[in-house]
Chains A and B, each alone.
Chain A
Amino acid sequence: MKPLFISGIGVISARGRGIEKFEAALKQGWIAPSLSQAGRPAYRISNDDLSDSDVLKTAKRADRFSKATLLAAYDAVKDSGAALKDIQESTGAIVATALGSHSTIFKFLDGILDYGEKSVSPTTFAHSIHNAATSYLTSALGCKGPAITVTDFYFPFQHALMLAYAWLNEERFRHVLVGVSDECSSAMDYIFEEKFQIASDGKMNPHAFSENPKTVPGEGSAFFLLSLNPAEKKYGAFSAVETSQAFKGWSEADISVVGTNGMGGSEKMYEQFSGKGKSVAAFSDIYGGMMASSAFDCAAAALILKKQRSYGVSDIDIKKSEKAVNTVQCISHNNLGELVFVKLIK
């Protein structure tokens, strides 16, 4: 795989909007989640962060899921410094999600239950389709290249990266916005409560590598603007994705960022990446547990490489050590205990 150079990153989460807010959150560390009406903790994006009359002027109908997607993608382009008009004709989009726009799907079901099958809202239906968010992204940003929405519960971002590489390699586009969006509706946080162990005190412990980890659900969107042009590199590059179960990680990785989000069962397998001489970082407690949180972990990894500093809990202080951080591996797991690795280089 040729390196996919990262020229811009956009992140929106409970910790705010923008890569600067994301970095500030990494520095600040854990803060308490909010509570829903039912008293369930979650890290939800604030309504203020989903308001932007300029970017969202053509997306007035958009639901929260679509707005978060559009804003994060827009911010990735803005962060790159590229003028949208210069790249939009040759920019595609690959939007990945674990659970899609489920709050809108439930709203559509509300319509069936409250008004009957023949009086449901067509607008709600149109937004319940997973690729509505991608449609807003392409319309608002004027991206007329290929645009795809993909879904997988645990590894959609990693597979999206592999597709981004294949299509950049084939010159289907010259730039691509690749990212993940996921939301946490009130019905879904009930489901999370049934399926996972929720940290009622709001404190995940992503460094515990527990057999029965706890989680606090989160929501957000994280996007990367990528190209094969090294001159556009701002944060480093994605240089490899490994999905084979025979693969055990890159020995040259200076830091391992582990996806201990409390949503994939036992996290004991991550112990092998920690220990003496091994530097491991985990950030799920910063933005909440999301099944497809790897994009957020990769955003943190990209910042580590660019800023040459580690954030939060880690056993090294990069500035004091003699060795620079040149390679970070982001590791995610699923409910079968399978691992997938993404390598980022400086």
Chain B
Amino acid sequence: MTVSDDSELAAIRKKIKELLVSNLSFLDDVDPAQIKDDEILFGEGLGLDSLDAVEIVVVLQRNFGLQVKDIKEGRAIFRSIDTLSRFVYENTVKNKK
């Protein structure tokens, strides 16, 4: 990846963290800047659940125009902040290049 790619991906990671905090009430008290890039979203990490998963699908639709058709496909994408950010990056910024 180029430096430009890295910074674009970093910007997306930042935005993803902010969107998760603003859209998921479960994360109300969390400072987006404190969420690690490799933070696991479900279970032991941020502790999100199945309802949060479908909410994230809508967040992706509203903010990036992206669809996650299959919730099984979603499992890999939603694993961590990093995997989610890369999915957005690859289907938005990178696609346009």
Same complex origin of A and B: yes
> Footprint of B on A, CB under 8 Å?
60-62, 115, 118-123, 126
Q: What sequence of 0s and 1s flags, for each residue 56-95 of chain B, a beta carbon within 8 Å of any chain A beta carbon?
A: 0010011000000000000000000000000000000000
User: Residue B51 at the A interface, CB < 8 A?
Assistant: yes
Residues of A contacting B52 in the complex (Cβ-Cβ under 8 angstroms): 123
Q: Contact between B61 and A122 (Cβ–Cβ < 8 Å)? A: no
> Within the assembled complex, what's the spacing in Å between the Cα atoms of A118 and B24?
19
Q: Contact between A123 and B61 (Cβ–Cβ < 8 Å)? A: no
Residues of A contacting B23 in the complex (Cβ-Cβ under 8 angstroms): 121
Residues of B contacting A61 in the complex (Cβ-Cβ under 8 angstroms): 24-26, 51
> Footprint of A on B, CB under 8 Å?
23-26, 28, 51-52, 54-55, 58, 61-62
Residues of A contacting B61 in the complex (Cβ-Cβ under 8 angstroms): 115, 118-119
Q: Contact between A120 and B58 (Cβ–Cβ < 8 Å)? A: yes
Q: Which of B25, B26, B58, B62 contacts A122 (CB 8 A)?
A: B58
Q: Contact between B28 and A122 (Cβ–Cβ < 8 Å)? A: no
Say whether chain B's binding surface is mostly helix, strand, loop, or mixed: helix
Q: Contact between A119 and B25 (Cβ–Cβ < 8 Å)? A: no
Chain B min CB distance to A143 (Å): 21
> Apart from A118-B61, A123-B25, what are 4 other A-B pairs with CB-CB below 8 Å?
A60-B28, A62-B25, A122-B51, A123-B55
A and B contact pairs by CB, cutoff 8 A, 25 listed: A60-B26, A60-B28, A61-B24, A61-B25, A61-B26, A62-B25, A115-B61, A115-B62, A118-B61, A119-B58, A119-B61, A119-B62, A120-B58, A121-B23, A121-B55, A121-B58, A122-B51, A122-B54, A122-B55, A122-B58, A123-B24, A123-B25, A123-B51, A123-B52, A123-B55
Say whether chain A's binding surface is mostly helix, strand, loop, or mixed: helix
> Within the assembled complex, what's the spacing in Å between the Cα atoms of A121 and B26?
15
Residues of A contacting B58 in the complex (Cβ-Cβ under 8 angstroms): 119-122
Chain A min CB distance to B22 (Å): 12
> Within the assembled complex, what's the spacing in Å between the Cα atoms of A123 and B24?
9
Residue of B nearest to A62 (CB): B25
> Within the assembled complex, what's the spacing in Å between the Cα atoms of A176 and B52?
31
Residue of A nearest to B54 (CB): A122
Chain A min CB distance to B55 (Å): 5
> Within the assembled complex, what's the spacing in Å between the Cα atoms of A61 and B62?
20
Task: Tell which of B28, B54, B58 has the most Cβ of chain A within 10 Å.
Answer: B58
